[in-house]
Amino acid sequence: MRNRHLSWVLVLAGILLFVSGCAVNPVTGKKELSLFQVSTEEEVAIGKKTFPQAVQQMGGEYQDPALAAYVNEVGTRLARYGERPELPYEFKIVNDSSPNAFALPGGYIAISRGLLADLENEAQLAAVLGHEIGHVTARHSVQGMQRGSLLNLGLTVLSGVTGDAAYGPAAQQAGQLAASLLDNSYSRDQESESDRLGIDYMVRAGYNPLGSVQLQEFFYRQIEGGAEPVWLNGLFRTHPFSKERMLANQDYVRSHYSATLQASDFTFREEPFLKATAALRAKKHAYALYDEAQKLEAQNNVAAAIDTYLKAVDEAPKDYLLYTGLGLASLRMGDVVPARRYLQKAVELNGNYFQSRLGLGYAYLQKNENPLAVKELERSMELMPGLEGAYLLAEAYEKTSQPVKALDLYKAVAQADSQGKLGQAAAAKVKALEGP
């Protein structure tokens, strides 16, 4: 009798846990099992904290204010027709060649330069952004966190989301969470749901849903032709694609929106799109050279990489990413003077990319221009905290007679990387500074 009573207690406890651990999907209205609840305010806080870090990890923000405003306008228009129009949506272009797009919790969405340059009209752009908005409205990223895959990291970032330390533990953990969210794959069911939602939003905003069909057919051609690594490492890695998914979307458009396919008020807006992206498309060859230089560097053919970077810079002399690549490659060759010049140019073109600042700070350290190194490395760490930046900044503090700041950073690196080379080097620095 006692065992039977205990069994009922356990069943009741399980029911209470299930009820308390259910979140309502804003799109379907259905309850979904979750290990912990994430409120809308917390969801937005996570996205706001991790989005800048994610943008940094994807090459920084592409520098074209008119194009950025255009993409944001298209995305904002679509978001108004979603189930969660009250979210503080942001839409950005990241300076990355891999065809990609991503959405973080709370409405923070980006499309890569590489994917944007491959599109043909605004309806296709709306299909990409609408799909990502669908992930947000259906809380797909949050579902993964609620089910525990990013539970600990999410809770840690939430607890430190209002922290003031520009490069303290909370900022580093936000960077880790951003990387995890970028790397987190969606299920096929989630992808299909976002496809349908994106098509719905497109039509409500006045776009021809054939734009979505065109986009899916373009993706299929990449698979049918044997997708290049840039595709497999980009969009298809986190957004699984298949012929069945393409056919399902075609059926959805025909069954739900057949009347719109030939209607003149449901448009593709090809001309505005081509006008807005003209400068970007004109630089495609320069970015192809940059990608080739990156491959050469990965093969340790740094001299050939530098020659290729120089060709890219000749074709697109106002892109910070090209100068950053050229400067960092020059540092690898030990050519500090030209490296410093290239990285100064990169920072001049865009002072908000951490790699440019990090490389320039290192170049200044090599020339004992230590106060300048402090300035660049502090800014790099504000943009994207990391072990390498922390170690270099500690070294710069040490060289500018700021031993307390240096010691604190060395200790942080030693603790975070206790088994690595940087951590061990930092531990030796701590021992030397603290003395016997």
Task: Convert the pLDDT of each residue in 84-114 to its tens digit.
Answer: 999 999 999 999 998 899 999 999 999 999 9
Amino acid code (one letter) for 433: L
Q: What is the per-residue pLDDT for 180? A: 75
CB 286 within 8 A of CB 315: yes
CB 92 within 8 A of CB 68: yes
Give 153-205 as a DSSP string: HHHHHHHTTT---TTSHHHHHHHHHHHHHHHPPPPHHHHHHHHHHHHHHHHHT
Residue 2 burial (CB < 10 Å; 0-12/13-18/19+)? exposed
Q: Which residues contact 113 (CB under 8 A, 6 or more apart)?
A: 59, 62, 93, 94, 95, 96, 97, 280, 287
Where is 281: in which H helix or E strand?
Answer: helix 278-282
pTM: 0.88
Q: What is the per-residue pLDDT for 141? A: 83
Which segments in the chain show pLDDT lower than 70? 1-24, 28-36, 144, 146-174, 225-241
Q: Quote the distance between the C-alpha of residue 179 and its chain's center.
A: 7
Q: What is the per-residue pLDDT for 78? A: 98
Q: What is the per-residue pLDDT for 311? A: 98
Q: What is the per-residue pLDDT for 37? A: 75
- The structure tokens listed for 390 are 């922390």
Nearest residue to 337 via CA among 380, 366, 300: 366
d(CA 212, CA 134): 14
CB 143 within 8 A of CB 34: yes
Q: What is the per-residue pLDDT for 212? A: 94
Nearest residue to 114 via CA among 236, 213, 16, 260: 236
Residue 292 burial (CB < 10 Å; 0-12/13-18/19+)? middle
Q: What is the per-residue pLDDT for 222? A: 77
Q: What is the per-residue pLDDT for 160? A: 57
- Give the residues across from 109 on adjacent strands: 91, 103
